[in-house]
């Protein structure tokens, strides 16, 4: 295709060399941007270095936004513009095989504690570990693999001194501080566990075994961790999509008290004790959950939307579409809170574009990263919170042909630790993936 119209060469040798240089850069740029994975996503908002009028030769290209599926005509930046954008694509990178200064905001919470544990067991290269907490927890000492670490009162200035910061506090906290921590060349990479930026088109939403490059090419240094329910179920959904193509997804989730953090687990534990040690008919008190959770289940997580789905249920729809880059995938979810401490379970039905056989699906899932096959019904082996808790892989089992969709349908059951795969582990794996080059599949050993 015609890239640009260059005026006739003038006689001035210096100008001639400048024009030749521009032509060479344009040719290299056209080759570099021919891959769909490298197409511009933020041309309109990126900050580019101004050029003299003789060197400003933008190229108009027809591209498709991978998230919303809309076709757009955009200007590809030229010469210094292209080099500035290329560096922006790797702004979220971390150096390989280099000890890093690591900060954790919310270090005393359920997920924060798990992040410390994952860093330890994964052998993450930590040079310094800084644990940020509230004024109330400031000064407390935590024993870690790297020695005793005193909890510090959070400050943006201190967090910006880190190489990578994990935030596990709240959406409001992230909205107020995440971008301030990451801003500029001297800011830190921020991996955020809240929902604050998950649906921001300029922020990567990442499960690194699936879309590590979304984080590596992130045009800013804030990266979003998905909702725990999504992170667990998508580990099985994505390999099936790659092989057979997903047409529809129907999911029912059975979510542990840990989804509401340490306070949720405490309410379940205290409430169960109260019921067991009291007269028959006693009902536990509830503050965190919509109703008493002990010896009960609650088909209500987060707030109801106009379509009568809850926000928790819609998160699964929105996030599966974004992470797998299938903008129009029909995903329906019913989310239920159950009285278990940790590990979410999910019953999933899929309709596929291609015919799918149970044995082929089972073999595929067994070989997929992040999955532990637990599918021996005759031996009473299947995914359960009891066996999936405190484990890194997601258990997958009860694999069978779905009666409704026939040879284009599959039904299965998954279970994964909400605090690990659904939060802390995924966050640390994102950091690990950022130390690897763009284009490299991320297949960690778990």
**Residues designated catalytic:** 228, 344
- Quote the CA–CA distance of 159 and 192 in Å, as a whole number: 13
Count of CB atoms situated within 10 Å of the CB of 275: 18
C-alpha distance from residue 185 to each of 5, 102, 221, 273, 282 (Å)? 35, 17, 10, 52, 58
Q: Where are the alpha helices (DSSP H) in 291-378?
A: 311-324, 358-366
DSSP state of 299: S
Count of CB atoms situated within 10 Å of the CB of 382: 18
Question: What φ, ψ does residue 283 adopt, rounded to 5°?
Answer: -115, 130
The answer to whether 94 and 109 are in contact (CB under 8 A) is no
- Quote the CA–CA distance of 398 and 385 in Å, as a whole number: 14
DSSP for 31-80, please give it.
Answer: HHTTSGGGS-S-TTT-------TTT---EEEEEE-TTT--EEEEEEP-HH
Q: Are strands 331-337 and 246-255 parallel, antiparallel or unpaired?
A: parallel
For 338, half-sphere exposure in the C-beta direction (CA atoms, 13 angstrom radius) is 16
Tell me how far apart the terminal alpha carbons of the chain are, to the nearest angstrom. 46
Which two three-digit tokens encode residue 111?
A: 């997920």
Q: Which residues of 311-337 are buried (b: 16+ CB within 10 A; e: fewer)?
A: ebbbbbbbbbbbbbebeebebebbbeb
Q: Taking each helix axis from N to C terminus, what angle separates 425-434 and 208-216, rounded to the nearest 10 degrees?
A: 50
- Quote the CA–CA distance of 425 and 343 in Å, as a whole number: 13
- Quote the CA–CA distance of 442 and 215 in Å, as a whole number: 12
The answer to whether 96 and 435 are in contact (CB under 8 A) is yes
Tell which residue, 241, 240, 196, has the closest CA to residue 222.
196
DSSP state of 5: P
């Amino acid at each position: 295709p015609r890239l640009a119209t260059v005026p006739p060469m003038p006689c001035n040798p210096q100008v001639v060399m400048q024009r030749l240089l521009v032509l060479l850069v344009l040719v290299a740029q056209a080759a570099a941007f021919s891959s769909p994975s490298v197409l511009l996503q933020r041309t309109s908002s990126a900050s580019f270095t101004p050029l003299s009028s003789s060197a400003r030769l933008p190229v108009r290209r027809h591209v498709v936004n991978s998230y919303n599926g809309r076709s757009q005509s955009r200007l590809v930046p030229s010469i210094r513009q292209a080099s500035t954008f290329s560096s922006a694509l790797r702004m979220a990178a971390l150096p390989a095989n280099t000890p890093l200064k690591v900060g954790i905001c919310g270090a005393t919470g359920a997920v924060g504690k798990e992040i410390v544990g994952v860093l330890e067991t994964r052998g993450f290269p930590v040079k310094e570990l800084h644990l940020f907490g509230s004024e109330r927890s400031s000064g407390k000492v935590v024993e870690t693999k790297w020695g005793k670490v005193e909890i510090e009162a959070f400050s943006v200035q201190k967090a910006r001194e880190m190489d990578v910061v994990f935030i596990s506090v709240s959406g409001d906290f992230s909205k107020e501080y995440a971008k301030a921590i990451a801003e500029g060349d001297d800011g830190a990479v921020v991996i955020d566990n809240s929902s604050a930026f998950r649906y921001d088109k300029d922020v990567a939403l990442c499960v690194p075994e699936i879309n590590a490059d979304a984080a590596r090419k992130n045009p800013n240094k804030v990266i979003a961790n998905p909702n725990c329910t999504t992170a667990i179920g998508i580990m099985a959904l994505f390999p099936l999509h790659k092989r057979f193509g997903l047409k529809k997804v129907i999911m029912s989730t059975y979510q542990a008290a840990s989804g509401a953090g340490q306070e949720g687990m405490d309410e379940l534990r205290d409430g169960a004790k109260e019921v067991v040690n009291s007269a028959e008919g006693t009902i536990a008190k509830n503050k965190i959950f919509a109703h008493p959770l002990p010896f009960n289940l609650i088909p209500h997580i987060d707030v109801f939307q106009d379509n009568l789905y809850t926000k928790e249920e819609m998160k699964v729809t929105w996030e599966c579409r974004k992470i797998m880059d299938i903008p129009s995938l029909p995903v329906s979810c019913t989310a239920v809170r159950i009285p278990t401490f940790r590990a979410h379970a999910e019953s999933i039905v899929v309709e596929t574009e291609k015919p799918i056989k149970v044995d082929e699906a089972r073999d595929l899932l067994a070989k997929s990263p992040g999955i532990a096959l637990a599918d021996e019904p005759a031996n009473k082996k299947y995914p359960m919170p009891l066996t999936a808790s405190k484990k890194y892989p997601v258990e997958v089992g009860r694999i069978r042909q779905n009666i409704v969709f026939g040879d284009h349908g599959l039904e299965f059951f998954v279970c994964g630790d909400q605090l690990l795969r659904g939060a802390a582990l995924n966050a640390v794996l994102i950091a690990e993936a950022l130390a690897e080059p763009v284009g490299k599949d991320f297949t960690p050993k778990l």
